[in-house]
């Protein structure tokens, strides 16, 4: 799967929920930038969006990426540079959608994720994977930070993926682990393409 598929991964830092269910803006983490850009590169995505309204957080993302894309960081680890070139930063979900619309010439299909059972138009992994592999329309897979996406985001999406379930009741994966499972299920489904 060396070719680029017509999907984007987006990590929202606003609007997301805190532990009490209130809408907040969460902080970015260095690990998310590195690990999720490498994941998108490995699974043939077009770009990895980090969405935060906080100007200082966007500046931090830009600084971290610049370190690995220019100068010492770029020569020290060229494969990291290659992955971080997929990182795009926007202050809002709406701006991200507009960028993709301009790039693609059409509205992207928005797909929310959640660790909890929620109302929404469900789409099975196999069906969304087929849409992505067919490449007819751009797809954006949206992950939330904190305690998950705010309801307004889920309601604004075309589809909602089934939650990831393990073998027991415990269900609190890091966003990096969840993203890896989601992309593997969508694009490989346990087998090579």
pLDDT tens-digit series, residues 151-183:
999 999 999 999 998 898 888 899 999 999 999
pLDDT value of residue 166: 87
Taking each helix axis as running N to C, give the angle between helix 30-42 and helix 55-69, from 0 to 180 degrees, rounded to the nearest 10. 60
Question: Bigger pLDDT: 74 or 90?
Answer: 90
Tell me the mean pLDDT in the region 123-129. 95
Give the distance from CA 79 to its chain's centroid: 20
Q: Give the dihedral sign, CA 21/128/183/30.
A: negative
pLDDT value of residue 71: 75
Query: In 3-state terms, what secondary structure has residue 142?
Result: strand
pLDDT value of residue 170: 87
Nearest one of 115, 129, 91 to 174, comparing CA atoms:
115
> For the ranges 24-38, 87-101, 178-192, which has the lowest average pLDDT?
178-192
Tell me the mean pLDDT in the region 133-138. 94
Do 128 and 142 touch, CB atoms closer than 8 A?
no
- Sequential DSSP letters for 15-64: SEE-TTS-EE-PPP-HHHHHHHHHHHHHTT-SEEEEE-S-HHHHHHHHHH
Do 92 and 51 touch, CB atoms closer than 8 A?
yes
Do 111 and 158 touch, CB atoms closer than 8 A?
yes
Do 28 and 160 touch, CB atoms closer than 8 A?
no
Residue 97 has pLDDT above 80, yes or no: yes
| Kind and range of the H or E run holding 72 | helix 71-76
The pTM (predicted TM-score) of the whole model is 0.94
Tell me the mean pLDDT in the region 13-40. 97
pLDDT value of residue 193: 44
């Amino acid at each position: 799967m060396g070719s680029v598929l017509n999907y984007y991964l987006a990590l929202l830092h606003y609007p997301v929920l805190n532990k009490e269910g209130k809408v907040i803006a969460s902080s970015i983490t260095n690990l998310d930038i590195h690990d999720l850009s490498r994941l998108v590169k490995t699974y043939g995505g077009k770009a990895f969006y980090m969405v935060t309204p906080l100007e200082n957080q966007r500046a931090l993302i830009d600084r971290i990426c610049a370190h690995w894309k220019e100068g010492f960081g770029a020569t020290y680890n060229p494969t990291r540079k290659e992955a971080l070139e997929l990182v795009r930063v926007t202050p809002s979900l709406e701006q991200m959608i507009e960028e993709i619309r301009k790039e693609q010439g059409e509205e992207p299909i928005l797909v929310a994720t959640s660790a909890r059972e929620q109302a929404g138009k469900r789409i099975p992994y196999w069906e969304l994977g087929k849409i992505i592999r067919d490449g007819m329309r751009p797809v954006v897979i949206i992950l939330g930070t904190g305690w998950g996406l705010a309801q307004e985001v889920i309601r604004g999406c075309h589809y909602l993926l089934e939650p990831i379930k393990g073998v027991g009741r415990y269900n609190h994966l890091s966003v990096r682990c969840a993203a890896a499972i989601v992309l593997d299920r969508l694009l490989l489904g346990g087998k090579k393409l």
